[in-house]
């Protein structure tokens, strides 16, 4: 309707589009085919794709020919290896060459639906094929004719079945069929057709983002071949070659893009740190620093004193390794040299806790400490901001409130971010933007595999705190099923009787089942009324207002509550050394790294601490994972296992690494990560500068990848 009404203007739009497409096309062919210009040709340029269909493609994120070519199959059907019926395994997916023994028998079942069945056979056996609600099937498959059927082999009481197999004439050449992620109204088959057309538009030579020299050195196929074979491979080998090449290209693009960001952020620092105050700071501490902590502090001070550019350092240390003291020491030195320092934490609770720690430590010094979080009253925030801008606060602790436009510093010399994995690259740079190239210190407990770290934190120097404070005893971890819950409760009761405190992490609820909060509240109420009626129990969950959360946390910290029932809001950083037990319900629903973070809430003081995992799940993976938790306290080992078992998507949660979305590469694929690192080194060595003319196509890809994430683009 809309189109008919506006038919006049529609013509105009089409004309305009046609000219643009022409220009893009001309550009494409003249330059010998640049992928980048394919992203300028709209998908509707393919025949058979009108505005309606184009909208469906858009739903899948496909707007241009380039997008379409980059829309790689989700999986493949291997019609290449035809199996004999007698060899089929139940539950497997297979292709058979078989003849219809009978014509299709349609039967109506309840609700007016149709179920169609027939027997098919080859020289080794027979099976039944079944289709639901397909009125046309009986006219498509003929008795006595041979076909290829592809589908999952299942069994009913009468023997083997294939339900709704795909099929084609037996004489059709067998091949590997791409299966695409589809959407309502746009089945995989139609996408396949469009891809075929788009591929036919590719010129013989494409400007390859990976130059010939690089491909030759690392045995990678060219882009055209890779694109043709990722969509329509003729063999498993071809597919592997194509995948390898595309994965490597994507990771190299990411790698070099991150390196570019690094150059970009390294500038001369106007912050002059000439004196080291870390010894003076150590006298303020109630404990002796570990050697690892001292090393990390020294690394920072050396960076700030000796490097011409600003410090860019990541301090990575397992939960409880004492990163806060390291940061505090560095802040102290910066402040004593006459600059301001900012310390940004991901949550209200953490910010407040850090604030209190710093206030206590610096009580007898001249350092003026401030707190700025979203939860403060507007008038309060205003006051803090004014003092900050006037230079009346030396060290400010806060949340994201620190990076809003309203916050100004007098002379910011150091920005610290705690639990770095919670912040994106952009937030990190916004904090830095509050000063004139201030030094940067980021802290993270999320141990990431080395190769991935090189990419994510490639622009950072790294200090690793590989030592826990000496008084620390490793947390003992056990796995109970829910029948043993009473034992767990009794144990908690005895610890509380000894003066310790305990965390109980609520069951996670299945999505759509119940509200997390309702579940947490019910669970806590149950405990308060029955199990621990005589013990003060607090509840904290994610939907509480932050001042409510703070109040509960405060009461737990001060010992008023002996037990804290919590959802995963306590996951990050909270420090209550007197807590000696953490009990985690539905342990199987958490990722290993998350469990490790939770476990890190205990074992922070001199008391032997315990982690009780509750889970009834019997599956092999659950078993393996919970056993890993029981057998080691080593965060790096656990992160590796986690990555191996779950893949990086889950590992990082909502893309917490702040990297752009990948089309084909997988961050868990350590081998490809390593190879991409090597190739990136090679490219930088061979071509010196990313602006080198021969890297034009590569540069275009870098811009495209980082554009998607809203990062700066290369000029």
Task: Using the minimum distance from each CB to Mg ion, give the nearer residue, 297 or 673.
Answer: 297
CB of 448 to ligand ADP, least distance (A): 16
Residue 224, interface with ligand ADP (CB under 6 A)?
Answer: no
Interface region with ligand ADP, contact rule CB under 6 A, candidates 316-324, 553-561, 613-621, 693-701:
316-324
Residue 633, interface with ligand ADP (CB under 6 A)?
Answer: no
- Kindly report the backbone phi and psi dihedral angles of residue 92, in degrees, each rounded to the nearest multiple of 5, phi listed first: -90, 165
Binding residues for ligand ADP restricted to 541-580, rule: CB under 6 A: 573, 575, 577
Closest CA to 398 of 430, 360, 352: 352
Q: Residue 615 CB: number of other CB atoms within 10 A?
A: 20
Task: Using the minimum distance from each CB to ligand ADP, give the nearer residue, 168 or 578.
Answer: 578
Residue 573, interface with Mg ion (CB under 5 A)?
Answer: yes
Interface region with Mg ion, contact rule CB under 5 A, candidates 59-67, 363-371, 422-430, 566-574:
566-574
- Kindly report the backbone phi and psi dihedral angles of residue 333, in degrees, each rounded to the nearest multiple of 5, phi listed first: -60, -45
Residue 289, interface with ligand ADP (CB under 6 A)?
Answer: yes
Structure tokens at 351: 């910010």
Task: Using the minimum distance from each CB to ligand ADP, give the nearer residue, 297 or 665.
Answer: 297
Task: Using the minimum distance from each CB to ligand ADP, give the nearer residue, 180 or 343.
Answer: 343
Interface region with ligand ADP, contact rule CB under 6 A, candidates 84-92, 125-133, 151-159, 317-325:
317-325
CB of 418 to Mg ion, least distance (A): 6
- The gap between the terminal CA atoms of the chain, to the nearest Å, is 44
Which residue from 66, 165, 322, 346 is in contact with ligand ADP, where contact means CB under 6 A? 322
Tell me if 475 sits within 8 A of 455, measured CB to CB. no
Task: Using the minimum distance from each CB to ligand ADP, give the nearer residue, 288 or 411.
Answer: 288
Close Cβ partners of 70 (under 8 Å, ≥ 6 residues apart) = 663
Residue 258, interface with ligand ADP (CB under 6 A)?
Answer: no
Interface region with Mg ion, contact rule CB under 5 A, candidates 307-315, 550-558, 565-573, 601-609:
565-573
Residue 658, interface with Mg ion (CB under 5 A)?
Answer: no
Residue 317, interface with Mg ion (CB under 5 A)?
Answer: no
In order, the DSSP letters of 477-505 are EEEE-GGGHHHHHHHHHHHHHTT-EEEEE
CB of 313 to Mg ion, least distance (A): 16
The DSSP letter of residue 34 is B
Task: Using the minimum distance from each CB to ligand ADP, give the nearer residue, 298 or 663.
Answer: 298
Close Cβ partners of 494 (under 8 Å, ≥ 6 residues apart) = none
Closest residue to ligand ADP in the complex (CB) = 322
The binding track of 515-554 with respect to Mg ion, each residue x by CB under 5 A or -, is ----------------------------------------
Buried b (16+ CB within 10 A) or exposed e, 651-667: bbeeebbbbbebbbbeb
322 contact, one of Mg ion, ligand ADP, none, CB 5-8 Å limit per kind: ligand ADP
Place of tokens 């919590």: 566
Residue 371, interface with ligand ADP (CB under 6 A)?
Answer: no
CB of 580 to ligand ADP, least distance (A): 13
Task: Using the minimum distance from each CB to Mg ion, give the nearer residue, 424 or 573.
Answer: 573
Which residue from 18, 189, 287, 708 is in contact with ligand ADP, where contact means CB under 6 A? 287
Close Cβ partners of 476 (under 8 Å, ≥ 6 residues apart) = 608, 609, 610, 611
Whole-number Å distance between alpha carbons of 543 and 519: 12
Binding footprint of ligand ADP, residue count (CB under 6 A): 20
Close Cβ partners of 110 (under 8 Å, ≥ 6 residues apart) = none
Binding residues for ligand ADP restricted to 405-464, rule: CB under 6 A: 445
481 contact, one of Mg ion, ligand ADP, none, CB 5-8 Å limit per kind: none
CB of 290 to ligand ADP, least distance (A): 5
Task: Using the minimum distance from each CB to Mg ion, give the nearer residue, 573 or 635.
Answer: 573
575 contact, one of ligand ADP, Mg ion, none, CB 5-8 Å limit per kind: ligand ADP
Whole-number Å distance between alpha carbons of 645 and 656: 19
Task: Using the minimum distance from each CB to ligand ADP, give the nearer residue, 164 or 285.
Answer: 285
CB of 327 to ligand ADP, least distance (A): 8
Whole-number Å distance between alpha carbons of 117 and 141: 11
Residue 322, interface with Mg ion (CB under 5 A)?
Answer: no
For residue 100, list its beta bridge partners. 120
Task: Using the minimum distance from each CB to ligand ADP, give the nearer residue, 236 or 499.
Answer: 499
Collapse the DSSP code of 506 into the 3-class scheme (helix H, G, I; strand E, B; otherwise coil) and give the result.
coil
Residue 317, interface with ligand ADP (CB under 6 A)?
Answer: yes
CB of 285 to ligand ADP, least distance (A): 8
In order, the DSSP letters of 173-231 are PP-EEEE---BTTB-HHHHHHHHHHHHHTS-SS-B-SS-HHHHHHHT---HHHHHHHHH
Place of tokens 């404990």: 287
Closest CA to 273 of 397, 398, 437: 437
Residue 320, interface with ligand ADP (CB under 6 A)?
Answer: yes
Enumerate long-range contacts of 491-500, CB under 8 Å, 24 or more apart: 491/581, 491/610, 491/612, 492/532, 492/563, 492/581, 492/583, 493/532, 493/535, 495/580, 495/581, 495/610, 496/535, 496/562, 496/563, 499/578, 500/578, 500/579, 500/580, 500/581, 500/607
Interface region with Mg ion, contact rule CB under 5 A, candidates 220-228, 244-252, 360-368, 572-580:
572-580
Interface region with ligand ADP, contact rule CB under 6 A, candidates 314-322, 483-491, 502-510, 628-636:
314-322
Closest residue to Mg ion in the complex (CB) = 573
| CA angle (32 as vertex; 29, 35 as ends), nearest 5 | 85
Whole-number Å distance between alpha carbons of 25 and 354: 58
Task: Using the minimum distance from each CB to Mg ion, give the nearer residue, 422 or 625.
Answer: 422
Close Cβ partners of 644 (under 8 Å, ≥ 6 residues apart) = 668
Tell me if 648 sits within 8 A of 666, measured CB to CB. yes
For residue 411, list its beta bridge partners. none
Would you tell me which residues interact with Mg ion (CB under 5 A)?
573
Binding residues vs ligand ADP (CB under 6 A): 287-290, 293, 317, 319-325, 445, 469, 471, 573, 575, 577, 604
């Amino acid at each position: 309707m809309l189109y008919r009404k506006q038919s006049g203007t529609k013509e105009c739009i089409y004309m305009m589009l046609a000219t643009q497409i022409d220009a893009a096309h001309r550009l494409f062919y003249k330059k010998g085919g640049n992928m980048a210009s394919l992203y300028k040709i709209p998908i509707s340029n393919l025949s058979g794709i009108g505005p309606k269909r184009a909208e469906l493609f858009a739903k899948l994120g496909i707007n241009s020919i380039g997008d379409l070519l980059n829309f790689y199959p989700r999986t493949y059907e291997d019609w290449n290896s035809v199996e004999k019926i007698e060899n089929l395994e139940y539950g497997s997916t297979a292709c058979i060459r078989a003849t219809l023994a009978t014509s299709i028998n349609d039967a109506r079942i309840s609700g007016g639906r149709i179920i169609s069945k027939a027997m098919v056979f080859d020289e080794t056996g027979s099976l039944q094929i079944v289709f639901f609600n397909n009125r046309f099937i009986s006219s498509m498959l003929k008795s006595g004719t041979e076909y290829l059927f592809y589908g999952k082999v299942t069994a009913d009481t009468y023997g083997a079945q294939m339900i709704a197999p795909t099929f084609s004439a037996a004489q059709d050449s067998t091949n590997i069929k791409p299966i695409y992620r589809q959407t309502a109204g746009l089945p995989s088959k139609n996408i396949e057709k469009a891809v075929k057309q788009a591929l036919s538009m590719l010129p013989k030579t494409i400007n390859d983002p990976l130059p010939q020299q690089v491909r030759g050195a690392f045995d990678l196929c060219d882009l055209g071949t890779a694109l043709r074979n990722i969509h329509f491979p003729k063999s498993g080998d071809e597919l592997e070659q194509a995948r390898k090449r595309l994965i490597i290209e994507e990771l190299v693009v990411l790698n070099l893009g991150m390196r570019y960001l690094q150059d970009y952020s390294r500038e001369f620092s106007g912050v002059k740190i000439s004196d080291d105050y870390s010894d003076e700071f150590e006298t303020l501490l109630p404990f002796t620093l570990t050697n690892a902590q001292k090393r990390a502090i020294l690394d920072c001070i050396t960076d700030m004193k000796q490097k011409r550019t600003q410090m860019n350092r990541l301090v990575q240390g397992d939960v409880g390794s004492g990163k806060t003291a390291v940061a505090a020491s560095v802040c102290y030195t910066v402040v004593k040299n006459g600059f301001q320092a900012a310390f940004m934490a991901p949550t209200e609770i953490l910010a407040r806790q850090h604030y209190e720690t710093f206030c206590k430590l610096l009580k007898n010094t001249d350092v003026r400490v401030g707190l700025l979080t979203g939860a403060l009253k507007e008038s309060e925030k205003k006051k803090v901001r004014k003092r900050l801008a006037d230079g009346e606060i030396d060290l400010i602790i806060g949340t994201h409130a620190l990076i809003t436009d309203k916050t100004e510093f007098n002379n910011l010399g150091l920005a610290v971010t705690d639990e770095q994995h919670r912040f994106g690259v952009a937030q990190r740079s916004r904090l830095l933007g509050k000063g004139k190239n201030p030094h940067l210190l980021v802290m993270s407990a999320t141990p990431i595999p080395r190769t991935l770290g090189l990419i994510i934190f490639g622009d950072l120097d790294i200090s690793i705190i590989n030592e826990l404070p000496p008084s620390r005893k490793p947390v003992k971890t056990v796995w109970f099923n829910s029948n043993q819950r009473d034992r767990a409760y009794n144990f908690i009761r005895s610890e509380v009787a000894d003066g310790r405190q305990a965390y109980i992490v609520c069951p996670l609820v299945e999505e759509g089942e119940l509200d997390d909060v309702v579940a947490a509240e019910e669970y806590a109420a149950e405990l308060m009324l029955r199990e621990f009626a005589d013990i003060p129990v607090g509840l904290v969950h994610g939907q509480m207002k932050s001042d409510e959360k703070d109040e509960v946390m405060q009461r737990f910290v001060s010992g008023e509550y002996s037990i804290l029932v919590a959802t995963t809001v306590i996951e990050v950083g909270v420090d209550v050394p007197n807590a000696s037990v953490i009990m985690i319900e539905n342990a199987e629903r958490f990722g290993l790294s998350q469990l490790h973070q939770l476990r890190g809430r205990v074992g922070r003081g001199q008391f032997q601490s315990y982690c009780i995992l509750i889970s009834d799940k019997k599956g092999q993976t659950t078993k393996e994972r919970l056993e890993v938790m029981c057998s080691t306290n080593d965060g790096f080992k656990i992160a590796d296992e986690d990555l191996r078992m779950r893949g990086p998507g889950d590992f990082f949660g909502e893309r917490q690494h702040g990297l752009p979305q990948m089309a084909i590469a997988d961050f868990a694929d350590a081998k490809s990560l390593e190879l991409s690192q090597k190739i990136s080194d090679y490219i930088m060595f061979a071509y010196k500068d990313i602006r080198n003319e021969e890297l034009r196509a590569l540069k275009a890809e870098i811009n495209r990848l980082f554009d998607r994430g809203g990062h700066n683009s290369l000029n």
